[in-house]
Amino acid sequence: MDMETITSKRLIMISGKGGVGRTTLAAAIAIAAAKNGKRVLLAEVGDNEGDESPLAHLFGKKNFTEIPAQLDQNLMACRLWAPQGHKLFLQHILPGGAILSAALRSKALQAFLTAAPSFCEMGWFYHLLTLIKEMNSDGQPRHQLIIIDMPATGHTLALTTLPKILIRLIRSGPIVDALSEGQRVIYDPDKSSSWVVTLPEKLPVSEALELLEGLHASNVPIGGIFLNRFPQNPFQPDEFDTINRIFNDHNIYGKLSFQRIIRSQEAEKRLLKEIDVPIIKVDELTRGGFELPAQIAQKFNPITGDV
Ligand SMILES: Nc1ncnc2c1ncn2[C@@H]1O[C@H](COP(=O)(O)OP(=O)(O)OP(=O)(O)O)[C@@H](O)[C@H]1O
Ligand SMILES: [Mg+2]
Q: What is the CA radius of gyration of the chain?
A: 21
* Buried/exposed 51-90: b ≥16 CB within 10 Å, e otherwise: eebebbebbeeebbebebeebeebbbbbbbbbebbbbbbb
Which pLDDT band holds residue 305 (cuts at 50, 70, 90)?
very low
Ligand lying nearest the CA atom of residue 232:
1
Over residues 7-27, mean pLDDT:
96
Ligand lying nearest the CA atom of residue 18:
1
pLDDT at residue 302 greater than cutoff 70: no
Which pLDDT band holds residue 303 (cuts at 50, 70, 90)?
very low
Give the three-class secondary structure for 47: coil
Residue 19 CA to ligand 1 center (angstroms) comes to 6
* Confidence at residue 225, expressed as pLDDT on a 0 to 100 scale: 97
Q: Could you list which residues have their CB under 5 Å from ion ligand 2?
A: 22-23
Q: Say whether pTM exceeds 0.85.
A: yes
What percentage of residues in the chain have a pLDDT greater than 70? 94
pLDDT at residue 306 greater than cutoff 60: no
Which pLDDT band holds residue 307 (cuts at 50, 70, 90)?
low
The answer to whether residues 279 and 264 touch, using CB atoms and an 8 Å cutoff, is no
Residue 288 CA to ligand 1 center (angstroms) comes to 9
The residue among 89 and 203 whose pLDDT is bigger is 203
The residue among 278 and 100 whose pLDDT is bigger is 278
* Gap between the Cα atoms of 72 and 252, Å rounded: 48
Kindly state if the Cβ of 19 falls inside 6 Å of ligand 1: yes
* Number of alpha carbons in the 13 Å side-chain half-sphere of residue 225: 30
Residue 137: Cβ within 10 Å count: 6
Instruction: Judge residue 209's burial from the number of C-beta atoms within 10 Å of its C-beta, 0-12 exposed, 13-18 middle, 19 or more buried.
Output: middle
* Gap between the Cα atoms of 192 and 160, Å rounded: 12
Give the residue whose CA is nearest to atom 10 of ligand 1. 21
pLDDT at residue 39 greater than cutoff 80: yes
The residue among 288 and 282 whose pLDDT is bigger is 282
Ligand lying nearest the CA atom of residue 17:
1
Residue 20 CA to ligand 2 center (angstroms) comes to 8
* Gap between the Cα atoms of 193 and 220, Å rounded: 7
Kindly state if the Cβ of 284 falls inside 6 Å of ligand 1: yes
The residue ranges of DSSP E strands in the chain, in sequence order, are: 11-16, 40-45, 69-72, 75-80, 145-149, 192-198, 222-230, 279-283
Kindly state if the Cβ of 282 falls inside 6 Å of ligand 1: yes
pLDDT at residue 158 greater than cutoff 50: yes
* Confidence at residue 304, expressed as pLDDT on a 0 to 100 scale: 43
* Gap between the Cα atoms of 204 and 155, Å rounded: 18
pLDDT at residue 79 greater than cutoff 70: yes
**pLDDT averaged over every residue in the chain:** 89
End-to-end CA distance of the chain: 11
The reply to whether omega before 237 is within 30° of 0 (cis) is no
Atom number of ligand 1 nearest to Cα 20: 21
Query: Per residue in 206-248, pLDDT tens?
Result: 999 999 999 999 999 999 999 999 999 999 999 989 988 888 8
* Confidence at residue 69, expressed as pLDDT on a 0 to 100 scale: 96
* Confidence at residue 204, expressed as pLDDT on a 0 to 100 scale: 96
* Gap between the Cα atoms of 292 and 307, Å rounded: 13
Query: Per residue in 243-260, pLDDT tens?
Result: 888 888 888 888 888 999
